[in-house]
Amino acid sequence: MTQSTRISIVVPLFNETLNIELFFDRLVPVLASLALDWEVICIDDGSRDDTLARLIRQREKQPRIKILALSRNFGKERALTAGLAFASGDAVIPMDADLQHPPEVIPLMLAKWREGFDVVLAVREQRTGQSWSEKLRARAFYWLFDKLSEVPLPREVGDFRLLDRKVVDIINSMPERTRFMKGIFAWVGFRQTSIPYVQEERQYGESRMGFFKLLSFAFDGLVAFSDYPLRVWALVGSVISGFAFFYVVVRLIRTLLYGIDVPGYESIIVTILFLGGVQLITLGILGHYVGRVFNEVKGRPLYIVRQRWGIDQPEND
C-alpha cells in the first residue's frame, strides 16, 4: 500500500445535525494518521435540519470530505447505494454517522485488507442498549432468513465493513431496486474475514428504525432473497388436500355403514374459514412478489442526486 492507495468512507446522513461535529472530530484524525489517500463521501439523504449546511462547513475545513445531496429522503439503503456508486477508493468502508461504528476500527480493517481479504466484516461484540425483545426479534429474523435464502447472513454484522474495489464494482452493477444491502453484501461472496468491535450508543437523536420499519425491512429482505414463501403454499395445499381426501373416504364409509347423522355445521364452517384464510395469505404473498416485479420493471432510478460537492467523476456503473 502506498500514498496512491485511496480509501473511501461512505456515510449516509439523515437529520444528523448534532452528530456531525463529533463524528468528524473522531474520524478525521484516524484517517489522517494513515499513510494513505482518503476521502469521505457524505450522502445527505434529504435531511430536513441543517445537516447539509454543517457538512458544507466541514468540507471547507477539510476538502477530502465530499458531499452528495439527494433530492429527498430515499432511505439508508439507497443512500448507501448512491455513496458506493460515487466512491473512487481502492477500498470502500460504509459507516453510520451516529458514532455507533467506532472509526478506530478502520486501521484494523485495513490491516486485514492488506493481508488479502476482499471483504472485512466488523462484527458487534456486544450490543449496548438493546432490550431482550429486540434481541429476540433479531434472532428470529436471522433464523428465518437462513432457512429460506440461498446465502446465510453473517450475525451481528451491520453495514460497517470494508469492501475491496472489485466487490464494490460488482455491487454497483447489480440492477435490483430493492436494496437489502446486508443480503447483497452476503450474496456477492469473495474472501471474507471479520474483526470484532464494540458498538457504542447512538450519540444524539433516535434510531430511525422503528418496529414497523424494521418489520417491513425484514420482510423486504426475505422476499428479495427467497422465493420460498411463494412455493411453500403448494406444500401446504397438498397436505390439506391430502387430509380432505382422507376425510371424505372416512365420511363415505361412515355414511354407508351408519346412515346420515346430524349434519356437522361446525366442521364445515371451520374448514371454510381455515381454507379461506390460507387462500388470502397466499394471495397477499403473491401480491407482494407481483408488486416487487412491478417495481423492478418500472426501472426508475434508485435515487436522485440534487447537488454534489467535490465529486466530479461520473457515477461508476
Binding stretches for ligand UDP (CB under 6 A)? 12-14, 16, 45, 73, 75-76, 79, 96-98, 100, 202, 207-209
83 binds, among ligand UDP, Mg ion, none (CB under 5 to 8 A by kind): none
DSSP string, 17-34: HHHHHHHHHHHHHHHHTS
In the complex with Mg ion, the residue whose CB is nearer, 98 or 118, is: 98
Q: Residue 29's beta-bridge partner residues?
A: none
Grid cell at residue 255 = 355414511
76 binds, among ligand UDP, Mg ion, none (CB under 5 to 8 A by kind): ligand UDP
Q: Write the burial class of residue 173 (CB in 10 Å: 0-12 exposed, 13-18 middle, 19+ buried).
A: exposed
Q: Which positions from 171 to 200 touch Mg ion by CB under 5 A, shown as an x/- string?
A: ------------------------------
Binding part of the chain for Mg ion, among 9-17, 40-48, 97-105, 296-304 by CB under 5 A, reads: 97-105
For residue 302, which of 151, 99, 80, 88 has the smallest C-alpha distance?
Answer: 80
209 binds, among ligand UDP, Mg ion, none (CB under 5 to 8 A by kind): ligand UDP
How far is the first Cα of the chain from the last one, in angstroms, to the nearest whole number? 25
Considering the complex, what minimum distance in angstroms separates the CB of residue 111 from ligand UDP?
A: 25
In the complex with Mg ion, the residue whose CB is nearer, 201 or 317, is: 201
In the complex with Mg ion, the residue whose CB is nearer, 99 or 109, is: 99
In the complex with Mg ion, the residue whose CB is nearer, 58 or 100, is: 100
Size of site (CB under 5 A) for Mg ion: 4
Neighbours of 43 (CB within 10 A): 31
CA 210 to chain centre: 15
In the complex with Mg ion, the residue whose CB is nearer, 128 or 295, is: 128
179 binds, among Mg ion, ligand UDP, none (CB under 5 to 8 A by kind): none
For 64, 198, 302, the CA distances from 124, given in Å and listed in that order, are 28, 6, 29
Considering the complex, what minimum distance in angstroms separates the CB of residue 99 from Mg ion?
A: 9
73 binds, among Mg ion, ligand UDP, none (CB under 5 to 8 A by kind): ligand UDP
> Which residues, in sequence order, are CB contacts of 37 under 8 Å at separation 6+?
3, 4, 5, 6, 7
Considering the complex, what minimum distance in angstroms separates the CB of residue 5 from Mg ion?
A: 29
Residue 100 in contact with Mg ion, rule: CB under 5 A: yes
Neighbours of 190 (CB within 10 A): 13
Pick from 16, 39, 98, 164 the residue near Mg ion by CB under 5 A.
98
In the complex with Mg ion, the residue whose CB is nearer, 112 or 202, is: 202
In the complex with ligand UDP, the residue whose CB is nearer, 36 or 181, is: 181
Neighbours of 239 (CB within 10 A): 10
Neighbours of 141 (CB within 10 A): 18
Binding part of the chain for Mg ion, among 4-12, 98-106, 247-255, 308-316 by CB under 5 A, reads: 98-106
> Which residues, in sequence order, are CB contacts of 36 under 8 Å at separation 6+?
1, 3, 5, 6, 7, 110
Q: Which 3 state secondary structure label does DSSP give 7?
A: strand
In the complex with Mg ion, the residue whose CB is nearer, 17 or 100, is: 100
Considering the complex, what minimum distance in angstroms separates the CB of residue 207 from Mg ion?
A: 5
122 binds, among ligand UDP, Mg ion, none (CB under 5 to 8 A by kind): none
E strands of the chain, at which residues? 6-13, 37-44, 65-70, 91-94, 119-127, 157-164, 192-199, 305-309
Contacts to Mg ion by CB under 5 A: 96, 98, 100, 202
